[in-house]
Chains A and B, each alone.
Chain A
Amino acid sequence: MSAGEVRGGAVRGDARPALGRGFRFQWEPAQKAHVLLYPEGMVKLNGSAGEIMKRCDGVRTVAEIVADLESTFATTGLEKDVHGFLTMALEKRWLEMRA
């Protein structure tokens, strides 16, 4: 089992999420949104999801991503939301965890 693998919905803080194989993630000026592209389809992400996804570079850990978001947006208590989004994104294979 790799680090951060989903177990009953739990995401480990030391796991390093990265874009899933076969996906392309980018900012689209025409849609004013981040989008996720995959074979013959597209997901348009809202601002929050885009901010999380763009930090998932396979280098930063989940804990570092949470800290960065809290600092960037001058807020606290984002861990639960971020974990929730990551759990869903892992299920959909938008993201995969690097050890």
Chain B
Amino acid sequence: MSADGSATGAGGAAASAGGATAGPAASAATSGAPADTSPPGDTVGEPNAARVGNPGPPLWLLCELTYTCPLHCVFCYNPTDFAKTEQQEELSTDDWIRVLRQGRELGAVQLGLSGGEPLTRDDLETIVGEAHTLGYYTNLITSGIGLTEERIKALKDAGLDHIQLSFQDSTREVNDFLSSTRTFELKSKVAALIKKYEYPMVLNVVLHRLNIDHVQEILEMAESMGAEYVELANTQYYGWAWHNRERLLPSREQLRRAEETTNRFRERVGSRMRVLFVVPDYFERRPKPCMNGLGSVFLTVTPDGTALPCHAAKSLPRLTFPNVKDASVEWIWRDSPAFNHYRGDSWMKEPCRSCPEKTKDFGGCRCQAYLLTGDPDNADPVCDLSPHHHLVTEMVEKASAPDTASPVVEHPLIFRDRKNSRALSS
């Protein structure tokens, strides 16, 4: 997961929870059975955890502490109506600590602190300290803006485990243009601080049409910074990225070249650096097992306390999402109608309902089904068995056509800011 447009993380936990698999671990002392393992970088979760009535624990808790952000990225997954949430409506420190405690009691282990930019909250260190004491593995998902040496040290002392730093591109010009700010040199300094304070270094770069041709330079930049993991995560088309999709979707040829470059780089660096390349799912023929099924392992709490089964789910119609100000995390997770709605498969329509692959991909992404077909219960149109699959292939063909000048003129990029948010949601 990342604070920006991509939905997968070092573990792909958000979008493609693959499940911990019984791995080839050495037989261990007292049982002889293989350890239930997956390689570092794989994800939490169980493959069929979407059970109605008795869900497993929400292993992943994502706290979006604020919508305030110094960047204005055109591919941000935040809802386009985020400006409706005023800063004074954000959860208080005590609210967040209560959410952390209740989540931990249910078995949450991985904590993402995201936003907006979480560093704009001056209680971040307090929240991290409490999370660490409770037993979470704490991940800060940040643009790095505001991460001074003083704060990075205070966060380390509070028990922060990991910082995922996002870059928009390898060049200052594109980085600054896409985020509508001047931040590249500042981010480079933050990367050096992350190494100095011995955090695992995960670099996230959201790929799209305007930077995907720079993959070689991006990987070289990551190498020179000493990154241990790099996520080249193609934009997923939700939130702001959905509005900008015609400008952001790469062509087939761009994607092919970027994958080739990535594979050559992997061969050269070997195990020194792990590179994850996430293909935009519009180019696939089967959908991603989004969130491992809604309500199976993943719980997001938005800045105003709304609880969601996926960080993009606020866009889904018909569901009323509960708020942690009114209800316990336990009730929300186990009993609320919104979280139970997409558990199991009784909500499915054809072709999913009778499809043998429904236990593998859970029908794909509800948000994508809604955005593209108007009905969230439809099959994710990425699937070529969906009667709506042509909607996806038409977009890919359009992006791959030799002359793409005209849509660029018709659809200027919309930067994520409060003014545009109000315009889009009025």
Q: A interface vs B, CB < 8 Å? A: 21-22, 24, 26, 28-31, 33, 35, 37-49, 51-52, 69, 73, 78, 81-82, 84-85, 87-88, 92-94
Output the nearest chain A residue to B23 by Cβ-Cβ distance: A43
The main secondary structure of chain B at its interface with chain A is loop
In the complex, chain B residues whose CB is within 8 Å of the CB of A88: 24-26
* CB proximity to A under 8 Å, residues B17-43: 20, 24-43
A24 to chain B, nearest CB (A): 5
Determine whether the beta carbon of A49 is less than 8 Å from that of B109: no
Look across to chain A and name the residue whose beta carbon is closest to the beta carbon of B107. A30
Within 8 A of A (CB), among B35-62: 35-44, 57, 59
Other-chain residue from A26, A35, A37, A85 in contact with B29 (beta carbon distance below 8 A): A85
Give the number of A-B contacts (CB < 8 Å): 135
Residues of chain B within 8 A (CB-CB) of A31 are 57, 107
Q: If the complex has contacts A39-B164, A40-B9, are A45 and B26 also in contact, measured as CB distance less than 8 A?
A: no
Q: Is the Cβ of A39 less than 8 Å from the Cβ of B28?
A: no
Instruction: Give the nearest-CB partner of A30 in chain B.
Output: B107
- Measured CA separation A30–B334 after assembly (Å): 14
**Bound complex: CA A30 to CA B297 (Å):** 13
Residues from chain B with Cβ under 8 Å of A82 in the complex: 28-29
* B29:A81 contact, CB within 8 angstroms: yes
Residues of chain A with a CB closer than 8 A to B180's CB = none
Q: Is the interface of A mostly helix, strand, loop or mixed?
A: mixed
A44 lies within 8 A of B36 (CB): yes
Known: A37-B137, A41-B11. A47 touches B37 (CB 8 A): no
Complex contact B29–A44 (CB within 8 A)? no
A90 to B106, CA, bound (A): 31
Contact (Cβ within 8 A) A81 B11: no
Let me know if B11 and A40 touch, CB within 8 A: yes
The answer on a CB contact under 8 Å between B35 and A85 is: yes
Give Cα A28 to B43, complex, Å. 17
27 contacts across the A-B interface (CB closer than 8 A): A22-B199, A22-B200, A24-B137, A30-B107, A37-B137, A37-B161, A38-B137, A38-B200, A39-B11, A39-B202, A40-B13, A41-B10, A41-B43, A41-B44, A41-B110, A42-B43, A43-B37, A44-B20, A46-B28, A48-B35, A49-B28, A51-B28, A51-B30, A78-B29, A81-B29, A85-B26, A94-B40
Q: Point out the residues of chain A lying under 8 angstroms from B34, CB to CB.
A: 46
Asked whether any CB of chain A lies closer than 8 Å to the CB of B350, the reply is: no
B282 close to A (CB within 8 Å): no
In the assembled complex, how far is the CB of residue A35 from the closest CB belonging to chain B, in whole angstroms? 6
Most chain B CB within a 10 A radius of its CB, from A21, A37, A81, A87? A37
Q: B200–A87 contact, CB under 8 A?
A: no
- Do A46 and B31 touch (CB < 8 A)? yes
Check A28/B161 contact, CB under 8 A, given A38-B137, A49-B25: no
B1 beta carbon closer than 8 Å to chain A: yes
Q: Are A22 and B25 in contact (CB under 8 A)?
A: no
Closest B residue, CB atoms, query A86: B26
CA distance A51 to B28 in the complex (A): 9
Is B359 located at the chain interface by the 8 A CB criterion? no
Q: How far is the CA of A84 from the CA of B31 in the complex (A)?
A: 14
Whether the pair A30, B106 counts as a contact (CB closer than 8 A) is yes
Asked if B135 CB lies within 8 Å of chain A CBs, one says yes
Contact of A38 among B26, B32, B40, B57 (CB under 8 A): B40
Within 8 Å CB of B1, what residues of A? 40
Contact A48 B31 (CB under 8 A): yes
B162 close to A (CB within 8 Å): yes
- Which chain A residues lie closer than 8 Å to B28 at the CB level? 46-49, 51-52, 81-82, 85
Taking a contact as CB atoms closer than 8 A, the residue among B13, B25, B27, B35 that contacts A41 in the complex is B13
Give the CA-CA distance A38 to B138 in the complex, in Å: 9
Q: Beyond A42-B44, A43-B20, A45-B36: 5 further Cβ-contacts under 8 Å?
A: A37-B110, A38-B40, A39-B161, A41-B11, A82-B28
Once A24-B161, A85-B29 are accepted as A-B contacts, the answer to whether A39 and B139 lie under 8 Å apart by CB is yes
Is the CB–CB distance between A69 and B29 below 8 Å? yes
Task: Give the complex CA separation of A33 and B202 in angstroms.
Answer: 27
Q: Is the CB of A48 within 8 A of B32?
A: yes
